[in-house]
Structure 1
């Protein structure tokens, strides 16, 4: 508790007196001074005054006057908001001052200014989150391995709701991981622009095209070393790589959304079957399609055969070509 209250800006003695009042019924200032018998500390009267300024205690009307702790859920919320505002103002002042001092010094290009080496999964995770937290646009390559079985990214979901732009290219094989399809679907629902590509070369996050973080190892089982790339020709190249693969990747739409551009079919569709072509076009395996649509793999294969028959296609490749050319299903004779 002490660490939490002091993080909110209380001194050790302010915290101790506040906890005393939380654990006690309203009392007079005289009674409080008798309980506060720290000879080596500030006077109780001074601490009470500061706790009142913090909005943690109040004086009750009546005779004699008594002091009491305000309900913690209200008082600490207000204190936290003021603390956050103070920290934001301090950050802005320090940033303005230090930025002015920094630009007055001639900073030459040094390899250490272009690339940082981050070692350790925990340190890498923290740095990725720190970069993502400050960004307005994220370009991402997503592929295995994954540090945890939890696929969704709460920070991304919050940033999307705040208006941050996310453009992500997912490795096709990653869609077979449990929870990945649901995670992408949820992010797309919040505004992420997602595409699927087989052969995504690496994990990568690019923030505002000003900074990137990528693993240093080649095809690792786990990621232990990563590099942060600052503005440079190398960063520009990574951005160009993203743009090229983005153009090659297949858009991942919401499988449950109405698709007015989908080819008209002659079959009476079963629930979920309308999403089949969208998922097939993304290169998603039958097993992952089945898991996403909540049906068996045999049902997906039956739907595929029915769709191929509609378009008089003998192979999936031929089906893709015909649908891509906008051909209509073959009417029953």
Structure 2
């Protein structure tokens, strides 16, 4: 029964015998227990280390048992403390295990896609899997998929996915550049132009991004390569990069001939003025969108653009500037 507090069978038998005898020599105790003397002596020394027996001071060679209530109580207390410590350690390990299981692995946050076919396939999947918005930075030197080959863009736009795209000015001068941009603007995509973009980039629903792997080119041993970035701090940084480039770029519009024409941020168009008027009349964004048969995100993006034009940070300031510039009447 005392095995629970660390005593083996020989030690428990020796202690029980000493409790009954009061005191005994090793020889007498070994005969009573039916154990060799060396085994009995070893059991007594182990019991002595645990404070359960002691050598008699009055009669050398004899061993006496410590009072069970005191000796076993101390041993039980020490055992309970050890169990409490073990229980605490187990709880901490379980907590660490859960945190490790919940924390995304690095390889789950970033994956590498190599080869022209694989990169093109993931580029299409990214757009076809989008539900709300695709943001893109486009350079003038497509390596894998050109604008004419990007059928996923048209399919996503037809499903109601909005596009915000910043292109390098070089794209406009490309052979098929005007055709591609006219098609994008015709699908009500928002397109802006800038001298140069820092990198190619596609972000779907702010949850998944694709960016070319530095140094990977079509002529490399494995062909082009790209990083697929999942929700993480890195993805947030890429999205912040896109927003910074978007703010610096100038909008593209269709001129009367149906060709893209670069527009400066001089002021709002007629739709912007309607949105401003309704907002100043006290309507919410959702109500304005319903009133003008627009998407909620379209209303919010237009308001954000007007805030960028007027260089303000709040809608209250935007309303004041709208009155001051004569965009709306009092």
- Using the size of structure 1 for normalisation, the TM-score is 0.45
Which of 1 and 2 has greater Rg? 2
Under a length normalisation based on structure 2, what TM-score does the superposition of the two structures give? 0.45
